[in-house]
Structure formats: structure tokens, C-alpha cells
Chain A
Amino acid sequence: MANVKFYCDSERCIECNGCVTACKNENDVPWGVNRRRVVTVKDGEPGERSLSVACMHCSDAPCAAVCPVDCFYTTDNGIVLHDKDICIGCGYCSYACPFGAPQFPESGAFSSKGKMDKCTFCAGGPEETGSAEEYQKYGANRLAEGKLPLCAEMCATKALLAGDANVVSDIYRQRVINRSMSTLASNVRIQKDFLGSSPDLTGKATK
């Protein structure tokens, strides 16, 4: 199977937090643990954008590199998973991760970290697929059922894309092209209106 990836389209994300809710609901994660979050930049300013962030399932995952007990592993389809039976809750992965994906259930006021929890791409964990232990420890294993992660499936604006990296990038590339075309089209219109020349739309001389 090919690599799977998340991609969030900032032009489409409307910060509805539907993905967050879907994730929580589907994986039954405890309070305080947010496998996915929506971050908004320039909130209320011109150029405001939102992005839904979770584990990016990096190819060269920093978390896996720094883990002192080597509890991370990457599946055939490029999903970075970890073994909670091995995790000791040291938090090193969270120091290395650029996306703030690793989450720790806080146990007690001394903030002793419990075992790390993070997005599994709805692919469960090392336990037997579909078993109760798997669900209890890692949440749903939708991938085994042939489904994509619920966050992406629930995304109302289809901003959050998940699935085969090639497909995701195709979709996104198509979107970018479409947006470019529309931008170009509007540019053409402007040029036509104000300059009176007919633009070349072959794509060879766009500069």
C-alpha cells in the first residue's frame, strides 16, 4: 500500500473544529488529550487562515528518533504508530515533535506524564486488529475496516484531506490549479478590460 498522508487546505478550513470533535468521538480519548487541533493564524486580521493539525506521520519522524525506549514504528503505509506497552511517558517525543502531536494524560498535580497518546491515522496500534484492547489503548482502527480517518471524512468543507499521498496531492494539485486558473481568469479579465489585449492561455507564458 502506498503512503498515506494528511493534508489540510487552509483555503477551505473554516475552523469549525468538526475534525477535533470527530476524532475525540471516534477514538474515545480522555479529557485533556487532543490528538487533533485547529490552529488559526492572524485571527481576526486580514489573511486569517486556519489549519487542522495532528500527527503528520513524518517519514523521518523526530519522535521516533529521540524515543529512549524506541516505542515508535512506521507501518507499511507510512503511518507512525507507537506501542503504549513500551512507552514510559518521558515526553521526549513532545520536545522533538514540530507539530505538538504527542499528548500526555496528566496524572495528578505533579504532572507526572502518563503514556503518550497521539493520532494513529485511525489505524489502531500493535494490539490485535479490531480487539477491545486496541480500541481502549489506541482508539478506532478504521483503516482496517477500509475507512479513512473520521476527521477527514467528517470535514464539512473537505479542507482536511487524508489518504494515499498521491491521491491527496492530486486532489490538492487540482485545487491549486483550479484556484490559479480562476485567479488567472480574473487577471485576464482585468487585462482585457484595462489593457485591451488578449492573453495567452496556453500556460507557456504566464510570467
Chain B
Amino acid sequence: MDALKRSSKTITSLNVNLSLLVCFIVIIFAMLSFSPVFAAEGKLGNSNTATHQLGVKSPATDLWRAVRNRDFGGSKGMSSTSQIKSLGANTFINVKGQEWRKFRQNWLLPYGGYFLVSVVGFLFFLYVVIKKVKIPNGRSGKSVSRLSTMQRVSHWFMVILIGFMALTGLLLLFGRLVAIPVLGLDGFAFVASASKESHNVFGPLVIVSLLLMLIYFIQHNWPAKGDIKWLFSLGGLLSKKHLKIGFFNAGEKLLFWFTIWLGVVLSITGLLLLFPYYEQTEAYTQLAIAIHAIAALLLIAIAFAHVWMVVTIEGTMDAMKDGNVDENWAKYHHSRWYEETTVANKALDVDAHVEEMSSSESRKEGVYQ
């Protein structure tokens, strides 16, 4: 009972944490989408007054005004060309650059940093405060087979890749704030270069890992009855009855789908970033970096939460080590799955037993029909 209470607390707090996180994302997106509108309105106001201005004006003023109008009004009548043929050479002034800078410097770096630090800090706090959820009645010593070799391979493949991508990505994002004071400019420069190059090389492999993950895990992650109940009862702890959970509980399914969808978002934006010199992608590239960073921070936070869960709930790690879990663990955490597999196994066992009995009988006695 004690264990139950404790884990109820942890799961509740995790959910609060998750909802905070969702709010945060919504806010960020809202700001992102509104800020250009504000900016555009301001600029438009200016240009309106300019047309009414009287007196002599420098011809260059008109030029700059036109340039800015063009930049905000799309291709409204004014074209610019250049003899230089390279991407963006025709663009006179790229006003989006300023927005991108604002987003990165004023939003992403500070709030992204706070977000990540608070998530990790919060999880660490939970780790320290909340004791491990022990396997009820301890380990039985009997094990149940849970994950196949390929399932484990694809999981750890993803862990290695996402871990690596997270590490190198975070270095590139926060390295200037965090690592330069430690390593110095020159020291960080080659770390950052290495991060960038390997981030680019390993990036496409994430797509492979997502595919492997989909292939080997999707069968267990379809929504099933009881999932909603699980979510509403916060992991079955608000409900009085012990919830019967299948192969994965709703939380694990959410983790899976979050990983997959964020992974897809990261892959698409990441691929865009891999080909920055393709025509007409400059604006998309800026957007892609923004989305890429936000999705990555979310995924990293979710991954930390996942790690914390595994560390807290005793016996969960076994499944990913050698594919077998303790029988008591299975009974407690995934009772429906346990029953299904054991019933199936027993049926097999019984069959085999009967067969063996009968065959040995007949062998010994030589009964031939």
C-alpha cells in the first residue's frame, strides 16, 4: 500500500509537469505566430505616414522605403535583382533575420534553458525525494520473456542516436553560454565543429531508428480500452481497483507516440537544415531551426522523464537488458499482458506436456494404431 501511495505521488507530479510543459509549448507557439503580425503592423504604419510626408526628400529614402515595403508585402510590385548569382543575392534586406535573431536570443535560449533545467531539476528532485517503487513481494526469480532481440536492438539504437544527437545539439544551442566559459573560445570551437559535423552525419540515421522503432514496437502501441481510464486515474492509482494493463500502459504509449511524432518533426526539419542551399529555402530554414530546437527540447525532456521512470520503478530495466522481466513485476505492472502470455504459454506447455507424455508412453509401450 505504501508503495502504491508513493508511486501515485510521483505519477501525479509527472502529469502536472507534463501539463506545464504543454502550456509552455502553446505559449511559445502563440508568441511565435503573433510576433510577426505586431512587427508588420508597426512597419506598415510608418510607411503610411511616409507617403503623406511633405517637402523634399532624399531619393534614397524612397528606395529604402520601397525595399521594406517589398519585404513585408511579398512581391508587391517591386523586384530586385543582382548580377551576382547566389542564393539570397537578389534579396536586398532580409527582415526575417531580425525576427529569427529575436526568437533565438530572447525566447529560445532563455526559456529553452529554463525549461530544460527545470525539467531535469524537477526530475532529480523527484528522484531524490521519492523512493524506488519496489516490485511487490520482491523478485520471484522466475522470468517472463517480454522483448525480442530486435526490439531491444532498435530501442538501444534509438537511445544511442538520440542521446548523441541531443548532446551535440545542446552543445550547439547552449554551448556559448555554458561551455565557452569552461573551455574557452578555441577549446569550444573544435568541440562545436565536431558536434556540428557529427550531428549532420548521424542525423539521417535517426530516421532509420524511427523506422526500426515503428516496425518493432507499433504492434504494442495502438490505443486499447483501458488507456483512457489509465490516464484519468493517473496510472491506475486514483482508481480503487487495480487496473489491468496490457503490454504497454497509456503512459508508455504516449511516450512512444511522442517520440515518433517529435522524431518525424525533427527528421523533416533536420533534413531541411541539411540542405540549406537549395533554392527558396532560406525562410524555411529559419523556421525549421526554430521548430527543430523546440521539438528537440521537448524530446529531450521526455527522454529524461522516461529515464527517471525506469530508474524509479524497479525491474523495468530488465526488459531492455535481456528481454526478460520478473514474474512479479509483470503481474503488478502489466497484469493483462502477463495473463495473456502465461495463458498462451501454459496452453503450449500443457500441449507439449501432454504430447510428451503420450509420446513417451507410446514409445515405451509401442502402441501403434
Set of chain A residues within 8 Å of B180, measured between Cβ atoms: 69-70
Contact A85/B60 with A40-B82, A67-B176 known, Cβ cut-off 8 Å? no
Min distance, Cβ B35 to any Cβ of chain A, angstroms? 15
26 contacting pairs across A/B (C-beta < 8 A):
A17-B83, A20-B83, A34-B86, A34-B89, A39-B90, A40-B80, A41-B78, A41-B79, A66-B100, A66-B101, A67-B176, A68-B192, A71-B189, A86-B186, A88-B192, A88-B193, A88-B196, A92-B289, A95-B282, A96-B101, A97-B94, A98-B93, A98-B94, A100-B89, A113-B276, A183-B56
Q: CA separation between A110 and B278, bound complex, in Å?
A: 10
The chain A residue sitting closest to B95, CB to CB, is A98
Q: CA separation between A15 and B83, bound complex, in Å?
A: 9
- CB of A207 within 8 A of CB of B274, answer no
Q: Which among A9, A43, A94 is the interface contact of B60 at CB below 8 angstroms? A: A9
Interface assignment of B92: CB less than 8 Å from any CB of chain A: yes
User: Can you list the 5 inter-chain pairs with the closest CB atoms, starting with the nearest?
Assistant: A37-B84, A86-B189, A88-B193, A111-B277, A96-B101
Min distance, Cβ B82 to any Cβ of chain A, angstroms? 5
Q: CA separation between A22 and B43, bound complex, in Å?
A: 36
Name the interface residues of A66-94: CB closer than 8 Å to any CB of B: 66-71, 83, 85-92, 94
- CB of A62 within 8 A of CB of B97, answer yes
Name the interface residues of B255-294: CB closer than 8 Å to any CB of A: 274-278, 282, 285-286, 289
Task: Give the interface of B toward A (CB within 8 A).
Answer: 54-56, 58-60, 62-63, 66-67, 70, 78-84, 86, 88-95, 97-98, 100-101, 104-105, 172-173, 175-176, 180, 185-186, 188-189, 192-193, 196-197, 200, 274-278, 282, 285-286, 289
- CB of B100 within 8 A of CB of A95, answer yes
Set of chain A residues within 8 Å of B58, measured between Cβ atoms: 176, 179
- CB of A69 within 8 A of CB of B80, answer no
Min distance, Cβ B189 to any Cβ of chain A, angstroms? 4
Q: CA separation between A20 and B86, bound complex, in Å?
A: 14
Q: Which among A41, A70, A207 is the interface contact of B66 at CB below 8 angstroms? A: A41
Contact A70/B84 with A47-B62, A62-B97 known, Cβ cut-off 8 Å? no
Interface assignment of A180: CB less than 8 Å from any CB of chain B: yes
Set of chain A residues within 8 Å of B289, measured between Cβ atoms: 92, 95
Interface assignment of A53: CB less than 8 Å from any CB of chain B: yes
Set of chain B residues within 8 Å of A42, measured between Cβ atoms: 66, 78-80
Task: Give the interface of A toward B (CB within 8 A).
Answer: 9-11, 15, 17, 20, 32, 34, 37-43, 47, 49, 51, 53, 62, 65-71, 83, 85-92, 94-100, 103, 106, 110-113, 176, 179-180, 183-184, 206-207
Min distance, Cβ B145 to any Cβ of chain A, angstroms? 43
* Contacts beyond the supplied A39-B81, A98-B93: 17 A-B pairs with Cβ under 8 Å: A37-B82, A39-B90, A39-B91, A43-B79, A43-B80, A47-B62, A51-B63, A62-B97, A70-B180, A85-B186, A85-B189, A88-B189, A94-B88, A97-B94, A97-B97, A98-B94, A111-B274
Q: CA separation between A17 and B81, bound complex, in Å?
A: 13
Q: CA separation between A111 and B285, bound complex, in Å?
A: 14
Min distance, Cβ A8 to any Cβ of chain B, angstroms? 9
Set of chain B residues within 8 Å of A39, measured between Cβ atoms: 80-82, 89-92
Contact A68/B173 with A37-B82, A98-B93 known, Cβ cut-off 8 Å? yes
- CB of B97 within 8 A of CB of A95, answer yes
Q: CA separation between A66 and B335, bound complex, in Å?
A: 52
Q: CA separation between A113 and B83, bound complex, in Å?
A: 23
- CB of A90 within 8 A of CB of B101, answer no
Set of chain B residues within 8 Å of A43, measured between Cβ atoms: 79-81
Set of chain B residues within 8 Å of A113, measured between Cβ atoms: 276
- CB of B94 within 8 A of CB of A68, answer no
The chain A residue sitting closest to B60, CB to CB, is A10
Contact A184/B56 with A40-B82, A51-B92, A62-B97 known, Cβ cut-off 8 Å? yes
Min distance, Cβ A89 to any Cβ of chain B, angstroms? 7
Set of chain A residues within 8 Å of B285, measured between Cβ atoms: 95
- CB of A206 within 8 A of CB of B277, answer no
Set of chain A residues within 8 Å of B196, measured between Cβ atoms: 88-90
Min distance, Cβ A63 to any Cβ of chain B, angstroms? 9
- CB of A90 within 8 A of CB of B63, answer no
Set of chain B residues within 8 Å of A176, measured between Cβ atoms: 58
Q: CA separation between A96 and B95, bound complex, in Å?
A: 9
Min distance, Cβ B350 to any Cβ of chain A, angstroms? 59
Q: CA separation between A106 and B276, bound complex, in Å?
A: 10
Q: Which among B97, B172, B192 is the interface contact of A96 at CB below 8 angstroms? A: B97
Min distance, Cβ B367 to any Cβ of chain A, angstroms? 73
- CB of A100 within 8 A of CB of B172, answer no
Contact A11/B101 with A39-B90, A68-B176, A97-B94 known, Cβ cut-off 8 Å? no
Set of chain B residues within 8 Å of A89, measured between Cβ atoms: 193, 196
Set of chain A residues within 8 Å of B60, measured between Cβ atoms: 9-11, 49
The chain B residue sitting closest to A16, CB to CB, is B83
Set of chain B residues within 8 Å of A95, measured between Cβ atoms: 97, 100, 282, 285-286, 289
- CB of A100 within 8 A of CB of B189, answer no
